[in-house]
Structure 1
Amino acid sequence: MTYLKYIQYFYLFAAGFFIYQGFINLNSEEESPWMMFFFAAMAIFMFFFRRKFMKKMNNQDKK
């Protein structure tokens, strides 16, 4: 299960991608960038949630 501690960094990569797409679409009248910024915020939230959950599970295993 060592891959689970690396999966959380995928969310940071996804957040960076969504922020980049949001700024690209910021000046575009065809697409709204706010959905991309929302996805980026959710990805950052998931990163911190998964990190906290993994620390909690590691501490439980040590007890």
Structure 2
Amino acid sequence: MKIAKIFQYAYLVFAVLFLYDAISKWNDGTHGAYVSLALAGLAVFIFFFRRRFRKKYENKGGSK
């Protein structure tokens, strides 16, 4: 289960990278900043989604 925690936090790292990409594209005036912002939002959503189900799975496995 430690690997699941590592991959869970990898989504936050990707969100930060996409956010940085969006800010740099926004300052340059090029198009594509909205796509990077959407991917950053998606990565944050996946982080919370996976964290919720990992905790749910751990609680279910611990009650047996």
Name the TM-score, length of structure 2 as normaliser.
0.90
Say if 2:54 is the partner of 1:58. Answer: no
Between the aligned partners of 2:30 and 2:21, the Cα distance in structure 1 is: 13
Q: Percent identity?
A: 35
Higher helix share: 2
Structure 1: gaps of 5 or more residues? none
Q: Distance in 2 between matches of 1:6 and 1:32?
A: 29
Q: Which residue is 2:24 aligned to? A: 24
4+ long deviations beyond 2 Å: 27-32
Amino acid of the structure 1 residue aligned with 2:55: K
More deviation, 15-24/28-37: 28-37
> When the two structures are superposed, what TM-score results if normalisation uses the length of structure 1?
0.91
How many residue pairs match? The answer is 63
What amino acid sits opposite 2:57 in the alignment? M
